[in-house]
Amino acid sequence: MKKLAMIVAAAKNEVIGVNGDLPWQISADLKRFKRLTMGHHIIMGRKTYDSIGRLLPGRTTVIITRQADFVCEGGLVANSIEEAIELCAKDDLPFITGGAEIYRLALPFVNEIHLTRVHTEVDGDTKLPEIDWDDWTLVEEQHFQQDEKNSFDYSFQTFARS
């Protein structure tokens, strides 16, 4: 494994979720997620997996859980972030896909962040863990306006660890 990337969408106030779901409808973000993660391993917590409700096609799903007896037919199960990363050793770019606790645990290992910045503040019960942005360099950014398929203005940003 050469890199480990984190992919996340966050509002200006760092909210990333509400009641196990996304607090917005941004079709372009979902398409970007699919395009970037297709063919790679995606690492997520069990609660995130439960909220999706299925394995995502075209990707190898690694689920992190404390439940010793948890089984996911067609997916891989790990009991720690380190074990999950080890399961992705042959992938040149696995992705951390959430939730907040998994982002927090993975952050020390991540060297690339793909952020969809949603240009609004929303209420939610899940926030992006604190990131020291001084450790990161913005390497790519695209801005987009709200439209019929995207409920808020947003930007796609890619950061590399400095």
Domain that holds residue 23: 5-161
| Pairwise CA distance, residues 17 & 13, whole Å | 11
Residues 119-140: tens digit of each pLDDT: 999 999 999 999 999 999 999 9
Integer angstrom CA distances of residue 157 from 84, 115, 142:
25, 5, 7
Write out pLDDT tens, residues 69-120.
Answer: 999 999 999 999 999 999 999 999 999 999 999 999 999 999 999 999 999 9
Average pLDDT, the chain: 97
Contact between residue 153 and residue 143 where contact means Cβ atoms under 8 Å apart? yes
Work out the pLDDT band at 18, boundaries 50, 70, 90.
very high
pLDDT at 4 over 80: yes
Q: How many domains are there within the chain?
A: 1
- Where residue 156 falls among pLDDT bands split at 50, 70, 90? very high
CATH of residue 153: 3.40.430.10
3-state secondary structure of 101: helix
Say how far apart CA 21 and CA 53 lie, in whole Å: 11
| pTM, to two decimals | 0.96
Encoded tokens for 3 = 């890199």
Here the tokens at position 101 are 């606790």
CA gyration radius, the chain: 15
| pLDDT greater than 70 at residue 1 | no
User: For residue 116, with 0-12 CB atoms within 10 Å meaning exposed, 13-18 middle and 19 or more buried, which class applies?
Assistant: buried
pLDDT at 131: 97
pLDDT tens, 40-55?
Answer: 999 999 999 999 999 9
